[in-house]
Amino acid sequence: MSNISVDQLANEIAKGLAEYTKDIIEGIDEASERIVKNAVKELKAESPKKTGEYAKGWAKKTEKKLGETNSHIIYNKNKPGLTHLLEYGHAKRDGGRVQGKSHIRPVEEQVINEFTAEVEKVVKGG
């Protein structure tokens, strides 16, 4: 049996944790990128299409951070002011109301469920 110093043991543990953290971050980044791409595709398919400009406007923006997981933002680049009005409905100019079409919330719930499952899978090593 060989003797190792406390410093050597601490260094090996730190090295192992750094490698594990790197693997977790890479796994989460891969999963989140895939999920966000699918969410944008789903939003384009499920959005109301009067002229099609609103539905085609869905896009994603990724903020990469060194040593941390990436952040993703899904937004409508063509008609950003319509998202709330179309999702929840709005009053008409001459009275009455336009009924909303829930197209963002179902995709949001799907993304949350998929991302949670993927993170659990990555952390458990699957």
- Summarize pLDDT for 43-56 with one digit per residue, the tens: 999 999 989 999 99
The whole-number pLDDT of residue 6 equals 82
Give a yes or no: residue 1 inside a domain.
Answer: no
**Residues spanned by the domain of 23:** 6-124
111: left (phi over 0), alpha (psi -120 to 50) or beta: alpha
Give a yes or no: residue 96 inside a domain.
Answer: yes
For residues 99 and 87, what is the distance between their CA atoms, to the nearest angstrom?
Answer: 9
Q: How many domains does the chain have?
A: 1
Q: How many CB atoms lie within 10 A of CB 103?
A: 18
Q: pLDDT > 90: what percent of the chain?
A: 75
Give a yes or no: residue 43 inside a domain.
Answer: yes
| pLDDT tens sequence across 68-77 | 899 999 999 9
Distances (CA, A) of 46 to 7, 89, 94, 111: 57, 16, 28, 14
pTM reported for the whole predicted model: 0.82
Distance of CA 101 to the CA centre of its chain: 22
Strand locations in the chain (E): 58-63, 71-76, 90-91, 97-98
